[in-house]
Structure 1
């Protein structure tokens, strides 16, 4: 199988795929990336075409919509993949991007699975990354063994495009938790409770959440927000665009997002 995007998230995925016995070819445009892949026993190429040629599946784990479009719509990946193969999109993109890739892939006999993920490199290494996957049943069964090399649970949530929709809701809710937590810390301060003390105590109560656990580990809401801001801010921008295109708004979620410290890039409404 082919792999495009062997970076912070992608490289540990490649490791897990190799450990599970999959034969992986990966794109490596820099000497550092090529060296990292070769250390894992992966065949690397400086161009995308040989990564996709004859591959039963190509997994794409880049960062933005634009990069997915460059790989799948402007680049040679779909042109080189054979009929009956599957392109898997791990990037959190807009539903429109998934639809555009599927429109280009379909006439070539290529299925699209959008497999948005929740978790980090440590979850990949432990084989417990959450995968929200959308796509045809038959395509899901073909790529499930690969996804299960690093994902547990691997959740098939509907047709193509549904995976990213679930992920966008997930990240909007997660960011809203951070916004509510920031408000809770402000309330605690007004009541005379130090933030670090509050964050140390609340995870043991009924208000616990993953956002709260992360903030407690970092010692402050602002520090936690800064640590996740680059990824979370990008995804929240995607969900805002998707909702705006539907002519709606985020309702109470939007109110909570407005309280998120600026490190997550979510304050602009």
Structure 2
């Protein structure tokens, strides 16, 4: 069992931290919002991080925050990256740029610490059920320990390469998801406009080549106009910007991703940034009405 500091108790982080305590790990938790720390400690064993000073004998620091700047603030500005003993791990489940991961990896290595960029896929429900897919970028010497620590919330994990490779793999995930959601939104919209039974249509085409996780889990709520769940438009726009920046740096063509990101920007401009990413249907419906 490991002594873990877990930073970031949002929709994903809170259940992931819960799984770690259930598995017997010792957790010290932190969050920018102290109210979330209090709520989490109300239902889980553990303690709150006092200031930015780590407890003694920490084996791993796990982060599940939102942006590059959040990771830098916790690790560099707050000095956490320099407090860890040699051989310990920093496991970053945030979705960030590969450049951020590579920079953190260099700083950590100076202290003999392993930085692992390990973004996840599976959404909030996957975190709650302990069924996440993990994409690991890390030194091969750290991979076995990484697998052992993250096992309580992992369905699948793969070592994708050195530090930065995990984030690049997550970019592939977001690129694919963006196109799938837009295609699903157009399919549902088309069915609605042509007086088809949307549920019946999706139940049928969902058994063929058009099936996807998005179709299976989102078509019903989209048809009902329910977008108060899942991954927010604001965060998807952030992720797609990271994808597009990496594409520019690597001479990769992403025309569909660029177009879908523009649609997400339209949703943000119309006050829908906090809605689920499947709100792409809402944009189509609004365009139809105008």
Q: Does 1:122 align with 2:121?
A: no
Question: What is the aligned counterpart of 2:45 among 41, 45, 57?
Answer: 41
What CA deviation, in whole Å up to 9, does each residue of 1:117-166 have, x standing for no partner?
00133322322111111101111112211111111112222111111111
Q: 1:138 to 1:61 in 2, by over 3 A?
A: same
Where in structure 2 are the equivalents of 1:19-98 lying within 5 Å?
19-28=22-31, 29-51=33-55, 53-98=56-101
Checking the alignment, whether the CA contact within 8 Å between 2:188 and 2:198 is kept in structure 1 is: yes
* Cα distance, 1:215–1:35 mapped onto 2, change above 3 Å: closer
Quick check: 1:238 aligned with 2:234?
no
Structure 1 pair 211–31 and aligned structure 2 pair: CA distance change class (3 A): closer
Give the TM-score taking structure 1 as reference length: 0.87
- Mapped to 2, the partners of 1:80 and 1:145 lie a distance apart of 22
Change (3 A) 1:11 1:4: same
TM-aligned CA deviation for residue 68 of structure 1 = 0.7
Shift of 1:202: 2.5
Moved more, 115-124 or 128-137: 115-124
* Cα shift readout 1:220-248 (whole Å, capped 9, x = no counterpart): 29645985324323211221222233354
Alpha-carbon distance in structure 2 between the residues aligned to 1:27 and 1:189: 45
Shift of residue 41, structure 1, vs aligned partner: 1.1
CA distance in 1, matches of 2:220, 2:48: 37
> Map of 1:111-260 to 2, 5 A cutoff?
111-189=114-192, 191-193=194-196, 195-220=198-223, 223=226, 227-228=230-231, 229-255=233-259
- Paired with 2:69 and 2:38, the residues of 1 have a C-alpha distance of 23
Alpha-carbon distance between aligned partners in 1 of 2:136 and 2:170, rounded to the nearest angstrom = 9
Residue pair 1:134, 1:160 contacting (<8 A) in 2 also: yes
Pairwise CA RMSD: 2.7
* Aligned match of 2:288: none
Distance 1:227 1:17, change over 3 A: closer
Q: Which runs of 5+ in 1 are unaligned?
A: none
Q: Does the C-alpha gap of structure 1 residues 189 and 16 become closer, same or farther in structure 2, counting only changes over 3 Å? A: closer
Distance (Å, rounded) in 2 between the aligned partners of 1:144 and 1:226: 29
Unaligned runs of 5+ in 2: 284-290
For these two proteins, the number of residue pairs brought into alignment is 266
The answer as to whether partners of 1:215 and 1:221 remain within 8 angstroms in 2 is no
**TM-score (norm: length of structure 2):** 0.81
Offset of residue 204 of structure 1: 2.6
Structure 2 distance, partners of 1:85, 1:259, is 42
